[in-house]
Amino acid sequence: MTDPFSKCRLPEEFEALAAAGVYPFYLPVEERPGGGEVVVRGRRVLMAGSNDYLALSDDPRLKEAGERALRRLGAGNSGSRALNGTLALHQGLEEELAIFLDHEAAMVVSTGYQANLALNALFGPGDVLLADRHAHASLIDAARLGQAQLRRYRHNDMGQLAELLEAVEPESGAIVLTEGMFSVGGDLCDLPGVAKLAARHGARVVMDSAHDAGLLGAGGRGAAEHHGLQSAVDVQSVTFSKCFGTLGGAVAGPRHVIDYLRHSSRAALFSASLPPACTAAALTALGIIRGEPERRRAVLSAAERLRSGLVALGFAIPAGGTPTVSLRMGDALTCCRFWAGLLEEGVLANVMLPPAVPGRAALIRLSVTAAHTGGQVDRILAAVAAVAARVAPIKD
Ligand SMILES: Cc1ncc(COP(=O)(O)O)c(C=O)c1O
């Protein structure tokens, strides 16, 4: 017999990164002074890799709501939603989310990953799942856990989606899986295309709005609202770890589907519920998202400044207007050198390597939030320009 642990080795490429002093993962944040900055390695740097788009994680109202709930209800619920772990707070949040997202009902779970995993109860043996190649790992994991067949289409390629839908056997059910705003590139799903094809073929649409709920659309309801196509999305998942500034997730959709998930989704049934502090913070965040559209305007204007600045530096940035962009770097070592260079310049970005990105891509992911001033965005751009002069990224 071989030792099953013999596979537990880090990729060789990671050794090269460590040897070059540019290993970029698990870097501890020591302080969060706010204002778009964090302290790492004893130095204040600009945070340009956070999904806290509306800068709510630092909002005193969320902190107070969380602290009050923690004191009143405790640090955790010690049980699953189905048994002893449901709070009236969870139910209140579910009602508000369902109204906000324009669905009949919602189910709150403990992370966005878990919200997507919970969807696997929808994926039966007779179903065919058609997933965008850039769909998040948690959607793909949900698909793999279920008994449905998984077929992937090239990113936003409506021609290939049409072919795959045409090939679905008449006795099978078809579900399209996509993100509303894609997490890596920050581009939007071609929802008009998806909606048209799904309607033509009688397919259901499941959309992960982890990045767009709270950010896009006039009311902040996400990519579906942005496209004016809310009714085209049958089931939507969201996370509270991005625009909501805390932790947790939810699935929203028709009442009978959500009730079914409450009783059949193993990811939801067999895991402890969202702690009081996060639940109260998410509910407070939802109120702020509804009442303060200026936060969306602030982050989208910082996004515009970042994007146009990167284009001026010669990077090919796809249209989209969202706060997240990725720069292609060729290989992992170049990418991590670029990351380390940015950090030296006082900017903390994200490195995206497989399996976070498809194929062998190596990307620097930059994002801005409502806390970033125009001057800070310009500092990010100046850092990118300075590092690009030493470490050659791919620009076209
Ligand atoms: C598109 C997408 N879906 C789901 C998740 C999971 O969310 P969470 O971090 O709340 O578990 C993420 C987080 O990275 C994401 O980017």
pLDDT tier for residue 395 given thresholds of 50, 70 and 90:
low
Q: Give the tens place of pLDDT for each residue, 183-198.
A: 988 999 999 999 999 9
* pLDDT tops 90 at residue 146: no
* pLDDT tops 90 at residue 346: yes
CATH topology of domain 60-291: Aspartate Aminotransferase; domain 2 (3.40.640)
Helices (H), 173-275: 191-201, 223-226, 255-264, 266-269
Q: Distance from the CA of 244 to the center of ligand 1, in angstroms?
A: 12
pLDDT recorded at residue 187: 94
Q: Give the tens place of pLDDT for each residue, 74-132.
A: 999 999 999 999 999 999 999 999 999 999 999 999 999 999 999 999 999 999 999 99
Q: Distance from the CA of 239 to the center of ligand 1, in angstroms?
A: 6
pLDDT recorded at residue 178: 98
User: In angstroms, rounded to a whole number, what is the distance separating the alpha carbons of residues 79 and 86?
Assistant: 8
Low-confidence winner among 183-192, 292-301, 350-359 (lowest mean pLDDT): 350-359
Whether residue 7 lies in the annotated active site = no
pLDDT tier for residue 358 given thresholds of 50, 70 and 90:
confident
Q: Give the tens place of pLDDT for each residue, 232-263.
A: 999 999 999 999 999 999 999 999 999 999 99
Catalytic residue among 90, 155, 242, 372: 242
Q: Distance from the CA of 237 to the center of ligand 1, in angstroms?
A: 10
| pLDDT, mean of residues 302-328 | 93
What is the residue extent of each domain of the chain? 10-47+294-388, 60-291
Q: DSSP letter for 274, please.
A: P
DSSP codes, 15-78: HHHHHTT---SSPPP-EEEETTEEEETTEEEEE-S---TT--TT-HHHHHHHHHHHHHH-S---
Strand partners, 351: 364
pLDDT recorded at residue 219: 97
Catalytic residue among 90, 103, 155, 211: 211
| Cα–Cα nearest to 172, from 207, 215, 129 | 129
Low-confidence winner among 13-22, 148-157, 293-302 (lowest mean pLDDT): 13-22
The answer to whether the beta carbons of residues 325 and 304 sit under 8 Å apart is no
pLDDT tier for residue 11 given thresholds of 50, 70 and 90:
confident
185 in contact with ligand 1, CB cutoff 6 A: no
Identical fold between 10-47+294-388 and 60-291: no
111 in contact with ligand 1, CB cutoff 6 A: yes
Q: What is the pTM of this model?
A: 0.96
Whether residue 226 lies in the annotated active site = no
User: In angstroms, rounded to a whole number, what is the distance separating the alpha carbons of residues 125 and 149?
Assistant: 7
Pocket test for ligand 1, best of 53, 57, 113, 184 (most atoms within 8 A of CB): 113
pLDDT recorded at residue 396: 64
| Cα–Cα nearest to 136, from 101, 173, 185 | 185
* pLDDT tops 90 at residue 360: no
Amino acid at 201: H
Residue 171: in which H helix or E strand, if any? Answer: none
183 in contact with ligand 1, CB cutoff 6 A: yes
Write b or e for each residue in 203-216: b if 16 or more Cβ atoms lie within 10 A of its Cβ, otherwise e: bbbbbbbbbbbbbb
Q: Give the tens place of pLDDT for each residue, 368-388.
A: 999 999 999 999 999 999 999
pLDDT recorded at residue 342: 98
Strand-strand pairing, 235-239 and 249-253: antiparallel
CATH, range 10-47+294-388: 3.90.1150.10
132 in contact with ligand 1, CB cutoff 6 A: no
| pLDDT, mean of residues 278-304 | 98
Q: What are phi and psi of 67, to 5 degrees?
A: -65, -40
DSSP codes, 82-124: TTT---HHHHHHHHHHHHHHT-SEEEEES-HHHHHHHGGGG--
Question: Ligand 1: which residue has its CA nearest to atom 15?
Answer: 210
